[in-house]
A and B are shown apart, each in its own frame.
Chain A
Amino acid sequence: MSTPSSLDVLIEALRCLPGVGPKSAQRMAFHLLQRDQRGAARLATALGHALEVLRHCSRCNTFCEDEVCARCASPQRDASQLCVVEMPSDLAMLEQTHSYHGLYYVLMGRLSPLDGIGPRELGLEKFLGRACDGAVQEVILATNFTNEGEATAHMISELLKSRGIKVSRIARGIPVGGELEHTDSGTIAQALVERRSL
Chain B
Amino acid sequence: MSARQRIDQQPGFVLHSYPYRETSLIVEVFSRDHGRIGLVAKGARRPMSQLRGVLMAFQPLLIDWSGGGEMKTLVRAEWQGGQPLLGGQALLCAYYLNELLMRLLPREDPHPVLFRAYGDALRALAAGEGQEVILRRFELALLQELGYGLQLDSDADGAPVRPELRYAYIIERGAVPLDEYGIDDPSVVAGRVLLDMARGDFREPETLAGAKALMRRLIQHYLGGQVLQSRRVFTELFAFPGDPS
Contact = CB atoms under 8 A, between A and B. Distances in A.
B85 A119 contact: no
A71 B92 CA distance: 34
Interface stretch (B14-22, B108-116, B128-136): B14-22
Interface stretch (A37-45, A59-67, A100-108, A149-157): A149-157
Given A113-B233, A147-B56, A186 B81 contact: yes
Contact of B240 (A111, A124, A184, A193): A124
Interface stretch (B94-102, B163-171, B190-198): B94-102
Contacts of A184: 53-54, 79
Interface residues of A, number: 33
B80 to A, nearest CB: 9
Contacts of B220: none
B205 interface: no
Given A154-B92, A184-B79, A116 B232 contact: yes
B236 A19 contact: no
Interface in B56-74: 56-59
Interface string A150-182: 110011001100110000000000000000000
Given A124-B240, A150-B85, A19 B22 contact: yes
Contacts, number: 91
A113 B236 contact: no
Given A113-B229, A114-B230, A186-B59, A119 B236 contact: yes
Nearest to A187: B53
Interface string A15-36: 0001111000000000000000
Contacts of B99: 113-114
Contacts of B85: 150, 190, 193
Contacts of B233: 111, 113, 116-119
Main secondary structure of the interface of A (DSSP, over half): helix
Given A118-B232, A154-B91, A154-B92, A186 B53 contact: yes
A193 B82 CA distance: 11
B242 interface: yes
B84 interface: yes
Contact of A113 (B19, B95, B240): B95
Given A185-B79, A186-B79, A147 B53 contact: no
A116 to B, nearest CB: 4
Nearest to A20: B22
Across the A-B interface, the 7 shortest Cβ-Cβ residue pairs: A118-B233, A19-B22, A113-B230, A162-B245, A116-B229, A113-B95, A113-B233
Given A114-B230, A184-B79, A187-B53, 6 more contacts: A114-B102, A118-B237, A125-B241, A147-B56, A150-B87, A162-B243
